[in-house]
Amino acid sequence: MTTTEKQRFFLDHLPHRVNLLTAFRERYAGRNLDKILDPERFRDLFRCAKDIAILMVRFFCGEVGLKVRKGQGAVQSCSADGAVYGATKANLGVISTDKRFSSLLFVLIAANRTVAHIEPSDVDHNVTDAALVSAIDLVEDLVRSHIYAPNNMTLDDAMKLPNNRM
């Protein structure tokens, strides 16, 4: 990656994906009341935000070397897809002790089922809002510590740029 490509990647591309990851939490989880949308009034946006957050949890976990393989019920350590741009592999032993880990596992399993649509009923994945928000919080921490920090950058700085603000 050239310096320009790397800057664009870290300042535009990844923050766009972080916005996709966090939009559900920001718009439907009730933390910032002036931004909250009514899930019933905006059902389409609610479902879109929830589904894309689930997929972004899966994407970012893959970037730091955490995956749930098809048919498996456990998070496994694997090569970090993001190593090509300097992301570091997350330590599964450390992550598994985090109180949010069970939510992460639940969301990763749902993400696999949602992507693969193994059964027609898998579209309705039954991920609770609370579990998804917990997984989003953990993944956002992983993005900070395993993607931005190893590249001597901060996610906060990237998210403050005008095109990345929610």
Q: Which pLDDT value is given to residue 71?
A: 76
Please report the pLDDT score of residue 125 as a whole number: 63
* Partners of 2 in beta bridges: none
Q: Specify the amino acid at residue 124.
A: D
125 or 90, which is more confident: 90
Please name which of 65, 60, 68, 58 lies closest in space to residue 83, comparing C-alpha atoms: 65
Mean pLDDT calculated for residue range 67-81: 91
CB 73 within 8 A of CB 104: no
In the chain, pLDDT over 70 holds for what percent of residues? 92
| Maximum C-alpha span of the chain | 45
121 has a pLDDT exceeding 60: no
pLDDT of residue 3: 77
State yes or no: pLDDT of 20 exceeds 90.
yes
The CA distance from 121 to 141, in Å, is 31
pLDDT of residue 33: 73
Higher pLDDT, 90 or 31: 90
pLDDT at 15 over 80: yes
Do the beta carbons of residue 89 and residue 65 sit within 8 Å? yes
Dist. CA 26–CA 33, nearest whole Å:
9
